[in-house]
Amino acid sequence: MQNKHFFKVVLCILVIMLFSSFLSTSSYALQSSSLSPQSTKKQVVVSTDPRIELIATLQMMIGAWPMSSLDFDYIREVQDTFYPYYRHPVLQQFAYMWYMYGFSQEIPSTCMLHLSQPPELKVQIPFSKEIIDCAGGERNLNDFLTLLRDFAETTDFMYFYEDHLGFYQDAIQLAEKKLETKNTIFMLEDYFGYTNRSYELILVPLFHEDGYATNVNLKYYALIGPFDVDEKKDEKLPYWKDSDGLHKQLLKSFSYAFVHPLIRSNHQKIIDTQKLLIPIRRPMMYVDIQTWPQCLTEHIVRTISQRFTFIEYGEKDWKEQRQKDIQDSFVYIDYIEKWLQDYETNRSFYADFERFYPVLFNNVRTLCEYPFIPTELTVLNASENGVQLSWKNNAIEPCKVYILRKTKMDEFMVLHEMEDSQAFAWTDSSIERDTQYLYVIAVKGEKGEIRSIGVSTAIPISPPLAPVSISYSLEDSSIVFSFEYPFKAEGFTLFEWTGEESVEITSLDRTEEDLQTISVNDVSTGTHTYYICSYITVLNDEQEEEMVYSPPSSFLPITIP
């Protein structure tokens, strides 16, 4: 009986221990899922992670870029706590690896996700070749980890982390609430064709709002910094983007985790197409992109992100996002968009993105056979008198240059052809008011044609320009006004200013002659003040024609003896 009672007690203790373990929350990595037990909808897990907080602290201390530029209490507490240890040797080692070897961007965070929690930081998942190479070799990486463990122990980093668990948990709950109605994972898996991944958003208060994205095997991470600071209370608390903003950001961030492994596994082949980086190397440096594999990854992900935006939020949001990417000089996004549309409409053939990748890369290789892409296409001025275009022609071989234009309803048409491949400006005078145009510059070489990114402009309905440089001649009581008018107008009206009102004297249609003339006869003696306006005819809201005048020309005081 005693043995039977003993086994019952042991069994009860085991049940209690198991139940307590199930209910307990780790004090090292705060995370939770907004899924209810009954829900079958996959959601992004939201968390903070002491490994990432540790490396983010080091990144801030070595002046890595970009980090959060916001001012809030938590950043000041990190500075007050850890900046006194600025002489610790791990900082010198980390800075050397970051700036000299390229152990930067998402690589340090990816490295940390292979380790156990601080301060032990034991290697739990073998490092990839990319991490080792970016660290400057295995020895450098091991030395760094040894120093990092010492830093975590010396600064008692885990005490700081656990002391801020309430701050982290509040941020997690708020982010979860923002994402609970979003189908982020469904959209990703539907687009890329995989269902065996897991997704985690790690909130990193020290990181820039754009953050980083990475993956460790089939687990995908978005490491995102705060968007702004709430100063309504006595304390300054950071907060992340709103529901739509965070959803869009996660679609983009997790897309990196899908695309980057394909680029990494085909690294040398990608390097062979780095000709495409040459025309945009300088502007890419401004967005911290140094290599063609990075640049191609960014092109693909940004274009996929645009596709998500167009599908879910419509054309207006898509245009805004596309324009920002154009401003950052991602000049191949129109090509990639066309290729992705082929993928999207043939999913019965391309079951997942990996099967489509050879087609995408084949298209990249094809672009390498053409001349360098024209860049920096800009509308210098757009009015009813014409659209002035400028661009940078990067071609180094003999080729022809074409200016192409389309409206929203039409296809591209060739407006002008140039034999001079070094031409960089042209004006389109064949335009109409109240019309939007899209322009591209095409450069055609021996093996094919490559087109610049498109630039659009709308021609407003505005008054015509006033005549300038008007001369006149007197013959008895007649006056003949003469002027050249290189702009667009339907005609001209001569007015006399009496000092109290404007009196219309005469109007005439514009002629095909270079010199326009207006005559007035039988002018009374004395001094008269004249001015001339050009005009156009438009339809008003009632669909009735009305004349729209230019501002007046310079006043012309004329004395008739």
pLDDT at 30: 59
Superfamily of domain 471-560: Immunoglobulins (2.60.40.10)
Band the pLDDT of 42: cuts 50, 70, 90: confident
User: Token pair 């401004």 is at which residue?
Assistant: 286
pLDDT at 409: 81
% of the chain at pLDDT higher than 90:
84
pLDDT at 476: 86
pLDDT at 18: 39
How high is the mean pLDDT of the chain? 91
Q: What are the residue ranges of helices labelled H in 272-423? A: 281-286, 292-313, 315-327, 333-345, 353-368
- Over residues 103-133, the pLDDT tens digits come to 999 999 999 999 999 999 999 999 999 999 9
Q: At residue 273, what is the residue type?
A: T
pTM equals 0.82
Residue 549 confidence (pLDDT) above 50: yes
pLDDT at 544: 86
Q: How far apart (Å, rounded) are the C-alpha atoms in residues 312 and 330?
A: 22
Distances (CA, A) of 256 to 26, 221, 253, 322: 29, 10, 5, 18
Residue 39 confidence (pLDDT) above 90: no
Q: What are the residue ranges of helices labelled H in 155-289? A: 157-163, 165-179, 184-192, 243-265, 267-271, 281-286
- Over residues 96-105, the pLDDT tens digits come to 999 999 999 9
Beta strands in 410-484 (DSSP E): 413-418, 425-428, 435-444, 449-451, 455-459, 471-475, 478-484
Give the chain's radius of gyration (CA, Å): 34
Q: Would you list the domain boundaries of the chain?
A: 42-236, 266-368, 375-459, 471-560
Residue 28 confidence (pLDDT) above 70: no
As a whole number, mean pLDDT of residues 486-505 equals: 95
Residue 271 confidence (pLDDT) above 60: yes
pLDDT at 47: 98
- Over residues 200-220, the pLDDT tens digits come to 999 999 999 999 999 999 999
Band the pLDDT of 5: cuts 50, 70, 90: very low
Checking DSSP bridges between strand 198-203 and strand 45-47, what pairing results, if any?
parallel
pLDDT at 32: 44
pLDDT at 541: 79
Band the pLDDT of 317: cuts 50, 70, 90: very high
Residue 33 confidence (pLDDT) above 90: no
Q: How far apart (Å, rounded) are the C-alpha atoms in residues 336 and 271?
A: 18
Is 471-560 in the same CATH topology as 375-459?
Answer: yes
CATH architecture, domain 375-459:
Sandwich (2.60)
Q: At residue 91, what is the residue type?
A: L
Q: At residue 84, what is the residue type?
A: P
Counting Cα atoms < 13 Å in the Cβ hemisphere of 425 gives 4
Residues 6+ apart with CB under 8 A from 13: none
Checking DSSP bridges between strand 45-47 and strand 375-383, what pairing results, if any?
unpaired
% of the chain at pLDDT higher than 70:
93
Higher pLDDT, 193 or 22: 193
Residue 347 confidence (pLDDT) above 70: yes
Q: What string of H, E and C letters represents the secondary structure of 413-434?
A: EEEEEECCCCCCEEEECCCCCC
Residue 455 confidence (pLDDT) above 80: yes
pLDDT at 421: 67
Band the pLDDT of 288: cuts 50, 70, 90: confident
